Structures are given as structure tokens and as C-alpha cells.
Homo-oligomer: A and B are copies of this chain.
Amino acid sequence: MTKEEVLQSLAVQTESKLIMVVIDGIGGLPIRGKTELEAAKTPNLNRFTPKAACGLIDPISYGITPGSGPSHLALFGYDPFRYEIGRGVMEALGIDIPLTRDDLAARGNFATIDEKGIVVDRRAGRISTEKNREICKFLGNEIKEVEGARVSIYPGKEHRFVLVFRGEGLRDDLTDADPQKDGYKAKGTEGLSEEARKTAGVINLYLKKVNEVLKPFHPANTILLRGFSKIPDIPTMSERFKLRPAAIATYPMYRGLARLVGMEILKTGESLQEEVETLKKNFEQFDFFYIHFKKPDMAGEDGNFKMKVKAIEEIDRILPSIFRLNPDVLILTGDHSTPTPLKSHSWHPNPILLFSKYTRPDGIRRFTERHCQKGQLGRFPAMEIIPLMLANGLKLKKFGA
């Protein structure tokens, strides 16, 4: 059996409660000697950390900087190399479009073509978001269906939108309908398999109709499509781990990722307090909770060291109310690092804390990158967290006799 099959065969449902706290972009790099975690004043973390088993997790693997999709799949116990989430799907999740297995999603741009069909501006002069909404509304009414496939168009910012085709048997092994550079001829999509050629036909017919009706909207007189993708055929956390999982997140993308693996999405507010309230209110109904705190990542992306430190301190203040729920297993970690000097996600490992009555406490003083690396959990891939949580919740039977 594969390791995945073995884990599935060992998982049992029990009453124990597991909480996974994900602090987005928590890991950092030192500026004037200290990382954001090292610079932050975290009295609560300082009190809890010595009782935990500590370590460092690699979101994916040495040197790999993950997007939110792969890093969350790994946190949820899925092999991020095996299950891919395409760009179109990620974009759809990011604006809260619930996708079904019949949906084919793509990222779209409004663009400008000249009379010879050459793309002269891939962003249609960066039309306003308002204009975008107007055109999307028009297109949505004008073309509702192509050869049996329903078409929905969702405006994004400026020239960007998400397009979703819904129909049986649509395929996503398709090339981009996008020349990628100005000065090249607009082109349709091509199917990369026999079955995909039918899907390509549907999309190209749609593109033809779009070009006809968009003429009056110059400079937004055509569209480019890329990242065609369907949701991966992924078993739920309930199937794989016998969990009843729930997700608490303020941003649609994280709710969407949680929905992909079968989590129940809990309605919550915008603040940390509201997220924790939601956790409390639903604590009896589920046995696994994923709770997502977004702010440190945003500060990291902005390159704002002080703001990231403040975001960490704000989270520190809310932690006692999570600990008071007295879960059987509590994990505190991040999905990836977002060091302020890089202003982006990075490959650096994140510190992790594991609380459970079945651990040998490390006695480590602080929840930082450099303190946690001395812990018993060592440095390990994020996708091992779920097996570890299940074990500590006594939710895994013995393997073999």
C-alpha cells in the first residue's frame, strides 16, 4: 500500500478536537538582526511555547516558494505535487465562485486587437474596474450558452475577469488563448488531447461570438483567456482522515481552498475576534478546525516590517481565547514565509508548535524561526502535520501487527 492508502486505512473518527491555526506569511528574515517574530512582543506565545513540541516546516520542499494553493493543500495533508490547482480555479476561488466538477475556469483579460487581428494592448489600456463590470454584465447577458455549455463571466479589477464554462465532459488540457505578448496575432485555444479538442471548439466558438459583440467597446474589443482548469479530483478530508472539518477564514481564496477538500465553511466576520467567536460557537459541531489569520502576509507583501510585527502582536493577544477552548491538539504555524525584505512569499520554513497531552514538551522559550528549529519535531514537510495531529488526537490505529 502507499503511505496515503495506509493513512486512510488507519484513520478513525473520535471525539477529540483538533485546531490548526494558520498565520499567513508568518516566517520572515532579519532586519537589523531580528525577524518579525523575533521583534514582536508576544507575552502569550512566550507563555505557551515552552509546553509545546517545536519544529520547522517546509511548506513544500527545500527551496520551493509556494502559492497559497499548494501550501494550503500541504497543510491539509495533501501531496501538493500530486494535486494541482490551476490558475483559473485559483482565480475563481479568490472571488468566492463555488465551482462544481462540471466547471472549467479561466483567467481573462480584456484586450485590444487591430483590424488584422493583432493584439496591440493585452490590457485594453487598463480600463477601469467600473467599465470592466459594465462590459461583463453586457457579455453575460449577450452570450449565456455555447453548444450546451453555460458561460458565466465575473469581473475582477481593471481589465481582469474570471470566465466559467459549465457543461458535461469539459476538459482542461488546453493551451492558453493568449499570445502572451503585444504585437502577436490573437489565437484560440488548442486541445492537447482528442477529448479536449471538443472543449477547444466550444471555447473558440465563444471567442468568435465575443469578438463580434465587443466591437463597440474598443479598446476592450477582445478577450484573452489563460490558465484553463477544473477543480482537481481530490478526496475529501472526511474520506481520507475521517474528520468532520470546518474552516474559518476572512478571505474567499482560503475558504475556497478549504471547500476543495470538503471542509464546511463557517460564516464569520472580518476581525480576529469574530473569527475566534465563530470557532467558539461551532466548537461542538466539528472535530477539525482550520482558522486562518491573514494580516502578517499582507504586511510582508507590502514590505512593511513594523506592520507585520504589529499584526503578529495582535494575533498574540487573541491566542488565549483559542487555548481556553482546551482542544486535544492545537497546531500553530504558517502556510509559507513572507519576509518583508522580499515583499513576497518565500521558500523559508515556518516555525510550528504542537500542543497535546501526548507530547514531550521541548521547553523552548519563544515561537520564532530560530528557536523552533531546536525542537523535537525537527524540520519536516507541511503535509506531515495532519498525520501528526491525528496521532495526537488518537485518531490513527496501529499500522500492522
Contact = CB atoms under 8 A, between A and B. Distances in A.
Contacts of A35: 360
A376 B70 CA distance: 23
A108 B61 CA distance: 43
A74 to B, nearest CB: 10
A334 interface: no
Interface string A329-357: 00000000001011011111100000000
Nearest to A375: B373
A29 B360 CA distance: 6
Interface stretch (A193-201, A318-326, A386-394): A386-394
A369 B85 CA distance: 40
A384 B62 contact: yes
A359 B35 CA distance: 11
Interface residues of A, number: 67
7 contacts: A1-B84, A65-B391, A65-B398, A66-B399, A346-B358, A349-B376, A377-B379
Oligomer: number of copies: 2
Contacts of A345: 398
A401 B3 contact: no
Given A10-B64, A61-B3, A64-B387, A80 B369 contact: no
A386 B64 CA distance: 11
A400 B84 contact: yes
A119 B137 CA distance: 68
Most B C-beta atoms less than 10 A away, residue of A56, A63, A80, A361: A63
Contact of A348 (B344, B349, B360, B375): B360
A3 B70 CA distance: 12
Contacts of A64: 6-7, 10, 387, 391, 396, 399
A2 interface: yes
